[in-house]
Structure 1
Amino acid sequence: MSREFPIGLSPPDWLVRNLQPQRAPASRAAAVRAAVAMTLPLVIGLAAGEPAYGALASMGALSGVIGDTADAYRMRILNIAVPQLFGAIGITVGSAVYGQGWLAVAVVTGVALVSGMISTIGAVASVSGLLLLLNSVVGAGLPMPGEWWLAPVLMSGAGLLVLLLALLAWPLRSGVPERTAVAATYRTVADLLAACGSEVPGAYEDARHTVTQSLNQSYDLVLARRARQHGRNAELTRLIAQLNAITPVVEAAPAAHLAGRPLPDAVPEAVRHLARAVETGFTGPVGLRLPSPGSETGRAVDHALRHAAEVVAAPDIEPGVPGGVDDDRLGRPARLRVRASGAARDVALSAASWRYGLRLALCIGLAQILVSTVPVARSYWVALTITFVMKPDFGSVFSRALLRALGTVAGLVVAAAVLSQVPRGWWDVPVMLLLAPLIPALTPRGYGYQTAAITPVILLLSDVLNHQGTGLLLPRLVDSLIGCGIALVAGYLLWPESWHTRVGDRLADAVADASRYVDAAFGADVDTAGRARMRRRLYRDLSVVRTEFQRALTEPPPTGRRAAAWWPLVVAVERIVDATTAARVRVSHGAEPPSVREIAHVALQLRELADGLRDTENLYPVRTELTGPPDSVLEPLRQEVAAARAITSPR
């Protein structure tokens, strides 16, 4: 029997969502790399009689472990090596102003502004900005042992050790992460087909969302590698073609789901068979045992699967030929030509980047002023806390501040046992071997879990440097709470844009795009490839909208309550796109096409709905009545639009 909280004692929804662990697989290889990279410097330092140097290097390895997130080897070079350069600059700048009073305050605040602005460029720039500021704060708040150049060399060298360990298998596994990602996408599509017609509430929607995320990840991974290749690469061309070939299967899934009957087990099993062929690089005849289709929906699925099997079986695929489409269904060429410097400059100097940089600089400046005027033990921890909590791409500031506080408390429990029971010296080695793998293992679960894993490691290394034992526990807690408080007030509450999310505008854009998709899905002036690009772009945008809403749901009222009220409409828009795709697939395989008047009627309804969402957050009923032949292929779409209208109508 499930336990229920008494009325009035139930925790609020936003708190429950914050505390729920995320479902994400942990990498055993990353855990092993973390154990080796963070323990080896300690061993070398103890053997050389310089444990402080070993602890400093282990701190640098920690930054490499945090950045060790990419699957592709070329992306790992960027994700780990580039941030280490910024980290070396940060520790050098911070050390130069250590003990300089207000000069240190001004310099660290300026670094925070620069860090915040470059952090908005992209994933690599985000980690680079994080290490730039983190190491500046550490250097300005903690005396570094040895010459001025020793700390950056030790910390960056240990961070690069993580990269070296990650690249050891490159000669044997080159291209394997990309193939694995594409095969994983095929398996998510198999799960989607298995969920078609399911009576389990939300099973199909969850599977479709997983497919969208997997497609996005696979395209990004393969195209990122292709962008750095000179000349034609047959393997990458095949992978891109295989990703494009699974698109018709994804398009056929909504039609199969709306038919209301589960597909035969042989259908999803056929996709899993193709996934195994993709993962192993197999080329040659792929025997598919598919049942004979008995409807236009069945014919659509059968045709899409056989086309995918032909592409997977092809030993070589030339760009531009059938089955070897040159883009990723978003209109982006397989061989990217991006003016990276100009794009990065535009993003870094945008109004949003300036606002975020100013928010971060304000919080860091307040922290530096506070610790310069009020005696605070281990004062640099205050700014470190703010740096992590205020990251723009890591989630809600409020949520991260809450999870940071809770994670710190949990980590302090472990740290208390380590600092009180384990003597410093060679006993630190087995302790680090146990604690370091927890960081990559728990990080996918959420920020609070990551904080709980990092806290005892940082305190252990700090004790090696300063020998304060359990005296580190209370300052760590106090400093973390102060940092969270500054971030919440100066970085969250004082900036209405952070807690007045424009969820209505985002949804309105998605509804307007859905209206254009309805027009394009049945228009003669849009070719098949154009419709596929529009559909992929729309699903990708909806995935971003869903992520933004899920982030908003972790906020306290009013943001969380407003997001919860809009959430059913997010799902409704996704179902509208599904119904449009299903109708297009049915028409392509024999169903009677809808009239121009029917198409215009549905598109008008969606445009009016979008206009209403933009006009006010006080939802009102749209005007147009949805009518049409009950046996039309657009009838399921009209029902979905009517459901969306009912959500926005006052009750």
Structure 2
Amino acid sequence: MALGVPALIGVLTGSIELAVVASVGGLWGVGQDGQDPYRSRVARLGSLGLAAAGGLLAGELALRSGHPGAVLVCLVFCAVLAGAVSLRGRVASVAGMHLLLGAVVGGGMPVPGPWWQAPLALFAGVMLVLALSVAPWLWDRHRIAREAVQAVYRAASRALAAAGTPAAGDARRRLADSLDTAQQALGPNTPARLRRSFALAIRLAEAVTTLIWEGRPLPVTVTGTPLSLMAGEIRVLPTPFAQDTPGLRALAGVFEAAGQEQIDEIPLEPAPHRPPGLADCLRYALLLGLAVLLTQLLAEALDGPRNYWLPMTVAFVYKPDLGPVFRRAVHRCLGTVAGVAVIAALALWITDPYVWLAVLAVFGAVMAVGVRHHYGVATAGLTVVVLVLLDLLGDERALSWPRILDTALAAGIVLVLHFALWPRSAAATADDRIRTALAAVQRYRALAPAAGPVRRHVLRRSAYQQLGAARRAVALAGHEPALRRPRQDWEPVIATAEKLCDVVTARVLASDLVRT
């Protein structure tokens, strides 16, 4: 809808240039949509729209000025600014990347009409995505929080079923992740009943972690109890098991708490975020600016059709916060080849513009799926969409081979710069994440015995969250060519720290039961 509706309006009204710009805004907006809370989507898509429109305006004014080098200066400035903010968090990352993308489009694609029309059309395309994304809030505003809390109970049931098996560790990690997702989904206006259900899920997760640490298989009568809690079927544990171990006694205590009038609520504080240091941000900003400078100079030297594809590829590929740079570059090249092959095949038998609009919508959906699952698939869908949009503009030049060449050149420049001037960025990030995680684990170990349930949860959440970030950083580092064999001590350190957290949880909970 975000691609097809503006394009259809443009075909029907004859305002095809502005319609294509609006579709580009919709394309970028869909790429950053998600299933997170509505307030998060508003912040992310709103910042995307403003940044992209501002970048487009800057690039457009530079192009219209007619001064030699104005576009080049504008792109390099926007690249440095984008790089300076992009590593500061997800919203900043989205805004930075789309500031640069907007500048690239504005400086490379002349749009007739007043200067304000193209930025406004781009912003309108993003706002269409935002409206479609948050529309369910009007009739079911608490659905995301409710489903996130329910996911905790389901994860707890699966974790209990995995107790005493090799899958227990992964199940416990998924439980911790679901708990963190639920806490982020809850807001100050969440109904009291849902907040109470989440507070009960906190106690349930603590009991489940203890049972996993005890390490023995559990009967179905026990593993299904979280689902009973989720459904509101309050009942006690089966008698033969309820008083057998500290974990089962804690699980029985969760059911007792479920039948009480009051239960301590957990403060809904935001998840902690530790951005990279100033040196890393400056280095990335300068490298991104240098990459854009080189690709723009190369584009002007080659003087090919739609040569803004070169710096645009840099903006998409050189995002170390979104994944390994090498893998993104390879997937970008392969996806571009696949997209060009698809468009070449379709062009053999499609001539009707309305059929092309259907192709636009279909491959827009392919891109949206790829964004969440595979960057190469996303690039293939994006390539088809962009080539269709250019066809709607009446550009009949041969664009397929230049798109492949430009993508390969830009990806090559990014890789050479990155691995020549910042070769151990992924390894340094992994080391930093591990140090932060170990500090959080030690803090939990030291403070948990004397802390109450609420404070204990805050400490435990921080420890598990930092351990998860460390594990993801290690996995990403393993995909960089310089680190095909990740440091051998990374995984054992993380695994040992996770077991230490589980031990602390189990022993503190057992001590609480003894005192009670």
Q: TM-score, normalised by structure 1?
A: 0.73
Structure 1 211/254 Cα, relative in aligned 2: closer, same or farther at 3 Å? closer
Letter in 2 for 1:430: A
Flag the structure with higher helix content: 2
Q: 1:42-441 alignment to 2 at 5 Å? A: 42-98=7-63, 100-198=67-165, 201=166, 203-222=167-186, 225-226=187-188, 233=189, 235=191, 237-277=192-232, 286-288=233-235, 290-292=237-239, 293-307=242-256, 309-310=258-259, 323-328=263-268, 332=269, 350-423=278-351, 425-441=353-369
CA shift for structure 1 position 140 = 0.9
* Alignment partner of 1:566 is 2:493: no
Structure 1 430/512 Cα, relative in aligned 2: closer, same or farther at 3 Å? closer
Q: Report the counterpart of residue 409 of structure 2 in structure 1.
A: 482
The 2-side partners of 1:535 and 1:298 are apart by 17
The 2-side partners of 1:503 and 1:120 are apart by 15
CA shift for structure 1 position 478 = 0.7
* Alignment partner of 1:538 is 2:485: no
Deviation by residue 1:396-417 (Cα, 9 ceiling, x = unmatched): 2122112212222222222222
Structure 1 270/163 Cα, relative in aligned 2: closer, same or farther at 3 Å? same
CA shift for structure 1 position 584 = 2.6
Q: Report the counterpart of residue 3 of structure 1 in structure 2.
A: none
Letter in 2 for 1:371: A
The 2-side partners of 1:579 and 1:536 are apart by 15
The 2-side partners of 1:307 and 1:545 are apart by 36
Question: How big is the alpha-carbon RMSD for the aligned residues of Structure 1 and Structure 2?
Answer: 2.7
Question: Any unmatched runs of 5+ in structure 1?
Answer: 1-35, 227-232, 278-285, 315-321, 592-651
Letter in 2 for 1:589: L
The 2-side partners of 1:270 and 1:252 are apart by 12
- Indicate if the aligned counterparts of 1:81 and 1:160 stay in contact, CA closer than 8 A: yes
CA shift for structure 1 position 326 = 4.4
The 2-side partners of 1:382 and 1:452 are apart by 17
Q: Report the counterpart of residue 612 of structure 1 in structure 2.
A: none
The 1-side partners of 2:56 and 2:72 are apart by 15
Structure 1 374/214 Cα, relative in aligned 2: closer, same or farther at 3 Å? same
Deviation by residue 1:263-314 (Cα, 9 ceiling, x = unmatched): 221333221233345xxxxxxxx33352121423353343343156347xx6
CA shift for structure 1 position 545 = 0.7
Q: Alignment partner of 1:437: what SS?
A: helix
- Indicate if the aligned counterparts of 1:542 and 1:574 stay in contact, CA closer than 8 A: yes
The 1-side partners of 2:409 and 2:67 are apart by 23
The 2-side partners of 1:150 and 1:349 are apart by 39
- Indicate if the aligned counterparts of 1:117 and 1:348 stay in contact, CA closer than 8 A: no
Letter in 2 for 1:136: A
Letter in 2 for 1:291: P
CA shift for structure 1 position 513 = 4.1
- Indicate if the aligned counterparts of 1:493 and 1:499 stay in contact, CA closer than 8 A: no
CA shift for structure 1 position 220 = 1.7
Deviation by residue 1:447-500 (Cα, 9 ceiling, x = unmatched): 22211221111111122224226x211111111111111111123431134254
- Indicate if the aligned counterparts of 2:208 and 2:247 stay in contact, CA closer than 8 A: no
The 2-side partners of 1:418 and 1:155 are apart by 28
The 2-side partners of 1:42 and 1:431 are apart by 12
Letter in 2 for 1:164: A
% identity of equivalent residues:
32
The 2-side partners of 1:532 and 1:302 are apart by 16
CA shift for structure 1 position 157 = 1.1
**Matching residue within 550, 554, 573 for 2:479:** 554
- Indicate if the aligned counterparts of 1:61 and 1:158 stay in contact, CA closer than 8 A: yes
Letter in 2 for 1:114: L
Letter in 2 for 1:474: W
The 1-side partners of 2:428 and 2:21 are apart by 41
The 2-side partners of 1:366 and 1:499 are apart by 24
Q: Report the counterpart of residue 400 of structure 2 in structure 1.
A: 473
The 1-side partners of 2:439 and 2:141 are apart by 42
Q: Alignment partner of 1:393: what SS?
A: helix
Q: Alignment partner of 1:427: what SS?
A: helix
- Indicate if the aligned counterparts of 1:109 and 1:362 stay in contact, CA closer than 8 A: yes
Matched positions, count: 511
CA shift for structure 1 position 543 = 0.9
Deviation by residue 1:119-159 (Cα, 9 ceiling, x = unmatched): 23322222122211101001111222333222112221122
Q: TM-score, normalised by structure 2?
A: 0.91
Structure 1 377/432 Cα, relative in aligned 2: closer, same or farther at 3 Å? closer
Q: Report the counterpart of residue 455 of structure 1 in structure 2.
A: 383
* Alignment partner of 1:501 is 2:428: yes
CA shift for structure 1 position 253 = 2.3
Structure 1 546/162 Cα, relative in aligned 2: closer, same or farther at 3 Å? same
Structure 1 40/351 Cα, relative in aligned 2: closer, same or farther at 3 Å? same
- Indicate if the aligned counterparts of 1:83 and 1:131 stay in contact, CA closer than 8 A: yes
CA shift for structure 1 position 565 = 5.1
- Indicate if the aligned counterparts of 1:245 and 1:307 stay in contact, CA closer than 8 A: no
- Indicate if the aligned counterparts of 1:183 and 1:276 stay in contact, CA closer than 8 A: no
Q: Report the counterpart of residue 581 of structure 1 in structure 2.
A: 505
- Indicate if the aligned counterparts of 2:443 and 2:459 stay in contact, CA closer than 8 A: no
Structure 1 554/183 Cα, relative in aligned 2: closer, same or farther at 3 Å? same
The 1-side partners of 2:488 and 2:395 are apart by 49
Letter in 2 for 1:391: K
The 1-side partners of 2:109 and 2:49 are apart by 19
The 1-side partners of 2:190 and 2:293 are apart by 52
Structure 1 349/297 Cα, relative in aligned 2: closer, same or farther at 3 Å? closer
The 1-side partners of 2:369 and 2:231 are apart by 27
Structure 1 258/218 Cα, relative in aligned 2: closer, same or farther at 3 Å? closer
CA shift for structure 1 position 539 = 0.9
Structure 1 38/305 Cα, relative in aligned 2: closer, same or farther at 3 Å? same
CA shift for structure 1 position 44 = 1.1
The 2-side partners of 1:221 and 1:60 are apart by 27
CA shift for structure 1 position 394 = 0.8
Structure 1 511/114 Cα, relative in aligned 2: closer, same or farther at 3 Å? closer
The 2-side partners of 1:395 and 1:401 are apart by 10
